[in-house]
Structure 1
Amino acid sequence: MRVGILLAWLIAAPALAGDDLARMNAVSNAWDRYAELSSQGDGRAAEWLAPSSLAHYGFLRDAALYASSAQLRRIPMSDRAIVYAFRATQQADALAALDDEAVTALCLHENWCGIASPDAGESLAALSHVTLVGDDLAMGELGPPTGTQFMFGPELVRDQGQWKVRAESMANNESLMLQQQVQRSGIREDDLMQAVLAYFLGPDREAPLLALLGQPLRDDAAARTRLNERWPRYDDVYKTRVAVLEKKAADGDTLAQMGLGALLATGSLPAAAPKDRTRGIDWLEKASAGGQPQAAAILIQLLIEDYTPQKGKPMPADLLARLAVQTRRAAEGGIGEAMLQLSGLYFNGAGGLARDCILAEQWGARAEDAGVAGARNNRVWALATCPLEDQRDPQRAIALADHMMATADTLTYSELDTVAAALAAAGRTPEAADYQQRAIARVEDAKPATLRRMQQRLAAYRKGQDWVQDYNTYELPAE
């Protein structure tokens, strides 16, 4: 499957040893030559492919000859399209007569594989950056990082002194792009594959229905078994990418530190990055300190997952302080949920932060602007129940609570509790008592201590008193 055109991007790099720079240039030159020839449908592009790639196209030839429908479904979409093209255009005997080099040349000549020729005004796909992994392996990037991930492209290997492209290393990327088209368009996968096949064959050749191409050109049970034994290790490319992340992370690249840390901490790609929670968190902390707010957000989640509350004891102060640091970084980096969490930390004066209800309300407002559910509730509570008299603002609390009262029937018990506190702060205690009764009646899953405090507030409102939260929620013992 041909690779879509991506913008080239040059990045600043640390000083490189002469040998490394020469090897990186050689890698880029090899890619450029392969891209140039393959974009023109020139079979000579095969000379710039690694031996493993020639064997890979040989596998796709054999898949066209022998693969069952179940086996065909296991092949990534981009390679599956090539198999369909072989079946649609080649007779079994003629296809079987092609060796690996010849079938690769056919694939390139027909523009079923290789690099797409650029559109008018565009440049041929180029490597924006090259990372060397050992002496004979390299990974190219086909564009700048998106901010959350690298645009990893092909692997290249040095074969008899010449750098060559591993075309099979791009199969997962190309298939992912096809899968994204399926998701965006809402069409069936087979319908997209039918369209790809029609594009491959062009206007002068009618594309057979996929249903007619689902069966092998030759029915050979032994050959089908051999296909299983030769099945490509499509996911091996991720091992190279993890090795690249390791190098970039060690060089101080915070995006690489975040990606590597997340992989190690979660164990989400065990074959390439075996789970190592401690090491993963260490890389995430480096990334967070280096300005990656998403790394801070991931750390918050991991630290909370690793914490087991102990009945009768509050969260340890050192853990809370650690969470507060990451919460501030994530919030300042624009992550809405962290803004709401930071609002709560400021209101309570927790995690080493001084209590500040004004900042609590401001961070709540930013969270609300970011669309975080519950942010308005936090803002009203902070203004209505602040224990710092000069920062308490009942009128503003009521103004913000008006919107909540307009939809009172849809409010949760916690939101009704907040409206009641705002009304009490504004001196409207009979209304506050009514809302508090409704809040208590709506309670379903509150902890006993929470329900007890709600009942204490109701008693205060009935006496004409308001409510001030003079305690730190984070210092309350776990139930």
Structure 2
Amino acid sequence: MRHWMLWHALFWSALLAGPAQANEELAAINSVSQAWDRYAALSSKDDPESVSLLPRASLDYFAFLRDAALYGSTEQVRRIPVSERTVVYTLRASMSPEQLAALDGAAIARHCFKAGLYGVPEAEDGESLPRLTHVTLIDGDRAVGELGPPTGTQFQYGPVLVDEVGQWKVRPESMALDGSALIQQQTTRAGLSETQMLEYLVGEFLHQPGPSLASLDRPMRDDAAARTRLNESWPQYEDTYRARLAATEKKANDGDALAMFAMGSVLYSGAMPQLVPKDTKRGVQWLERASDAGHVPASAALTVLLLQDYKPVKGKPVPPELIARTVVHTRRAAEGGVPVAMVALGNFIFNGAAGSRDCRQAEEWAARGEDAGIAQARNERVWYLATCPNPAQRDPARAMELAGHMIAKADTLPASELDTVAAALAASGRFGEAVDFQQRAIAKLDADHSQNRRGMQERLGRYQKRHDWVQDYNQYERPAP
């Protein structure tokens, strides 16, 4: 029963892949989970036999930590993630150079496990050791485990395991960056400096007051050639992220909506250029697939991104197919409870870009957005009620009632909101006040809003002739200036 989430996730892929392939994959996943369970059980007891569950590459990594303790300069050691730096400092504090130099990678690893420098913490009373809730196989001989179900916004990725001569083994250094992030969080929470935290941790491992970091910052042996070799063998700590990204892409290809969203976000934003180059087109494609799969945050992102990426063509309106695509995702996000999407959907509906124009429905969506904290939604509600081209849905009295809150702080309103108040006043027949507010709106515009200025000037002319303003056009069908 322990892996029920895993079996459920693989059910459909088993049907599609065929019995042989599915059984082979399930067997591999089970082997990965068993390898992790053995590693967790041994390492939580500080058992040096944990080393038997490590691959050759991890033993080489422990040899690197030995060499960093022996030869690493201050600058080199400070490049190492803080969790691993703790190991280096503890080795320096607990061994002589001769003792360290005599140990190979496997012996250093055994020492680290026995001293509690590496491995899974012992389970507290009433708790169990961490187990893998899901395993993703990548490249045939690598796997990424998860230490909990997705949080809704991210995967709880854990160790990377590798298949070495038919046996799955744990790469404990794959969690070095996670451990470092945890230490940094604890350092901030405790109000300590990084140096103070490192001294405290080294003292904990030595079971005595921690030595001054200044005494541990210098290399145990001054060997320029060894320092150069250390640079040449520097671990690729970011390989953990590469493996997790590969796992995420595999999940996305298998139809996982959160993974699709994650892939889309990384590609669109270019947030991890060292791992994957920025590709906004592919990013949007993944986000649309995630939205189609029901992922509301992806729908919300597309509400903004699709139109944001469009480059207007002079004399041409926004392509109708782009508006249609955006509306689909906006509606999903609005119905999924995203406040800004509620307001955006109201705008599409008011303009008739989401089907037939319905001013009441548009105002209702804007009202929901305002209730959810979108302050600008009040402006939209007043505009829809005051300028609706459908006489049966136009409501100047309600527009003025809602505009009262805006009029009370008129001196602080931006040009767009002064423009809206003027429209509400004109719809109520208060043309003198409408002219005043419209003039104030125009005065607040800067030189960069020439198109808005033309529209405001046109409305001002109507108010001066004692005519109100009705928006009888779809703003998305208007040609770009």
Superposition TM-score, scaled by structure 2 size: 0.91
Aligned partners of 2:116 and 2:49: how far apart in 1? 13
Deviation at 1:271, TM superposition (A): 4.6
User: Greater CA deviation, 327-336 or 224-233?
Assistant: 327-336
* RMSD across aligned positions (CA): 2.3
Please give the residue correspondences for 1:317-332 in structure 2 after superposition, counting only pairs within 5 Å. 317-332=320-335
Give secondary structure in 1 for the equivalent of 2:68.
helix
Residues 251 and 439 (structure 1 numbering): CA distance in 2 closer, same or farther, change over 3 Å? same
Aligned to 1:10: 5
Which of 329, 332, 336 is 1:333 aligned to?
336
Superimposed CA distance per residue, residues 379-418 of structure 1 (whole angstroms, 9 cap, x where no aligned partner): 2211221112222222222222222222222211111111
Aligned to 2:19: none
Q: Does 1:220 align with 2:223?
A: yes
Aligned to 1:3: none
Aligned to 2:105: 100
Residues 68 and 371 (structure 1 numbering): CA distance in 2 closer, same or farther, change over 3 Å? farther
Deviation at 1:183, TM superposition (A): 5.9
Q: What count of residue pairs does the alignment treat as equivalent? A: 470
Residues 128 and 311 (structure 1 numbering): CA distance in 2 closer, same or farther, change over 3 Å? same
Maintained 8 Å contact 1:385/1:425: yes
User: Greater CA deviation, 136-145 or 78-87?
Assistant: 78-87
Aligned to 1:82: 87
Deviation at 1:274, TM superposition (A): 4.2
Q: Does 1:49 align with 2:44?
A: no
User: Greater CA deviation, 144-153 or 78-87?
Assistant: 78-87
Aligned to 1:364: 366
Residues 463 and 254 (structure 1 numbering): CA distance in 2 closer, same or farther, change over 3 Å? same
Please give the residue correspondences for 1:232-311 in structure 2 after superposition, counting only pairs within 5 Å. 232-311=235-314
Residues 218 and 335 (structure 1 numbering): CA distance in 2 closer, same or farther, change over 3 Å? farther
Deviation at 1:432, TM superposition (A): 2.3
Aligned to 1:460: 462
Please give the residue correspondences for 1:377-456 in structure 2 after superposition, counting only pairs within 5 Å. 377-456=379-458
Residues 336 and 33 (structure 1 numbering): CA distance in 2 closer, same or farther, change over 3 Å? same
Maintained 8 Å contact 2:201/2:210: no
User: Greater CA deviation, 291-300 or 189-198?
Assistant: 189-198
Q: Which amino acid aligns with 1:105?
A: R
Which of 45, 57, 62 is 2:67 aligned to?
62
Aligned to 1:230: 233
Superposition TM-score, scaled by structure 1 size: 0.91
Deviation at 1:192, TM superposition (A): 3.8
Deviation at 1:25, TM superposition (A): 1.2
Aligned partners of 2:41 and 2:112: how far apart in 1? 15
Which of 319, 324, 345 is 1:342 aligned to?
345
Please give the residue correspondences for 1:21-36 in structure 2 after superposition, counting only pairs within 5 Å. 21-36=26-41
Maintained 8 Å contact 1:8/1:125: no
Give secondary structure in 1 for the equivalent of 2:10.
coil
Maintained 8 Å contact 1:9/1:144: no
Residues 70 and 323 (structure 1 numbering): CA distance in 2 closer, same or farther, change over 3 Å? same
Give the unaligned 5+ runs of structure 1: 1-6
Q: Which amino acid aligns with 2:315?
A: G
Q: Which amino acid aligns with 1:372?
A: I
Give secondary structure in 1 for the equivalent of 2:116.
coil
Deviation at 1:282, TM superposition (A): 2.7
User: Greater CA deviation, 220-229 or 13-22?
Assistant: 13-22
